[in-house]
Structure 1
Amino acid sequence: MKKNELIEFLQRQNEFLQGRLDKALASVSSLTLANEKLVATVDELRRQIASLEDVIKGRGAELSKEKAARQAVQRLQGSPSERQAKPMPAPAVSETPEQRPQKKRTNNGARRKTHPEC
């Protein structure tokens, strides 16, 4: 190969490799942009997971409070000292002393005198 042919061959090879380098650089820049988008998405998802964990922990605390309250009520209902007595039914006819006839009080045939003024 002569000097001119060698120079021309090397120039073509240089242009070919420069084209491949340009393509590779474009590919790297697009992959870098995609990577940045994915990193932002991952960060957002991590924040959402953290907030959901906080909500779950808060909900768990609420549930445990409700459960404790239910158990306390059940213990109170089951405790004999806390049971409420059932109300006694009122007598059907409430008699007052005025409505009852006076009994005769006898002591061997002797009657007692009633003193209404007292």
Structure 2
Amino acid sequence: MGFAAAIVIVILGLATAAFYYRGNAISARADAAQARADLATAVAVNEANEAAMARLKADNERADKLAADLADEIDAANNSTLAVAKTLADLRAKNADVDSYLKQPVPSALRSLYDSAKGAH
């Protein structure tokens, strides 16, 4: 009887160990599945972040190009204004009639038109 009880105890011990390891295996499979799901989520988030960064980079490059184009246009306008001012100064220096004409006062009706236009800016 003692021998049979020992065999029953050994079998129960082995069954307990088997159930314990089986539980650990099930838990490990669940953890692995969760890790795969977390990895898929992280990969999707990284792909979305990379796409957003690519859009931001493209927007930044487009803004830089627009700023450069605007700077070129401003430079061209400044050069044109300087050329007109130099031409006018040269003309005034060479032609007394032009200088006399440009020294005349602007009529008040026309001056008020210019003044109101300046106030609108």
Pairwise same-fold verdict (TM > 0.5): yes
Per the TM alignment, residue 59 of structure 1 is displaced from its structure 2 partner at its CA by 0.8
CA distance in 2: counterparts of 1:82 and 1:53, whole angstroms? 46
CA distance in 2: counterparts of 1:20 and 1:40, whole angstroms? 30
2:4 is matched with which residue? none
Structure 2: stretches of 5+ with no match in the other structure? 1-9, 102-121
Structure 1: stretches of 5+ with no match in the other structure? 88-118
CA distance in 2: counterparts of 1:5 and 1:82, whole angstroms? 116
Scaled by the length of structure 1, the TM-score of the pair is 0.65
CA distance in 2: counterparts of 1:71 and 1:11, whole angstroms? 89
CA distance in 2: counterparts of 1:82 and 1:20, whole angstroms? 94
CA distance in 2: counterparts of 1:59 and 1:10, whole angstroms? 72
Count of residue pairs the alignment pairs up:
87
Q: Specify which of 42, 47, 50 is matched with residue 31 of structure 1.
A: 42
1:52 is aligned to 2:63:
yes
Per the TM alignment, residue 4 of structure 1 is displaced from its structure 2 partner at its CA by 1.9
Per the TM alignment, residue 82 of structure 1 is displaced from its structure 2 partner at its CA by 6.0
1:99 is matched with which residue? none
The alignment's C-alpha RMSD in Å is 2.0
1:15 is aligned to 2:26:
yes
Per the TM alignment, residue 85 of structure 1 is displaced from its structure 2 partner at its CA by 5.1
Structure 1: 4+ residue segments shifted above 4 A: none
1:81 is matched with which residue? 94
1:6 is aligned to 2:34:
no
Q: Which is helix-richer, 1 or 2?
A: 2
- Give, as a single letter, the amino acid of the residue that structure 1 aligns with 2:94: S
CA distance in 2: counterparts of 1:42 and 1:14, whole angstroms? 41
**Cα 1:82–1:59 shift into 2, 3 Å:** farther
Scaled by the length of structure 2, the TM-score of the pair is 0.63
| Corresponding residue SS for 2:94 | coil
CA distance in 1: counterparts of 2:20 and 2:100, whole angstroms? 112
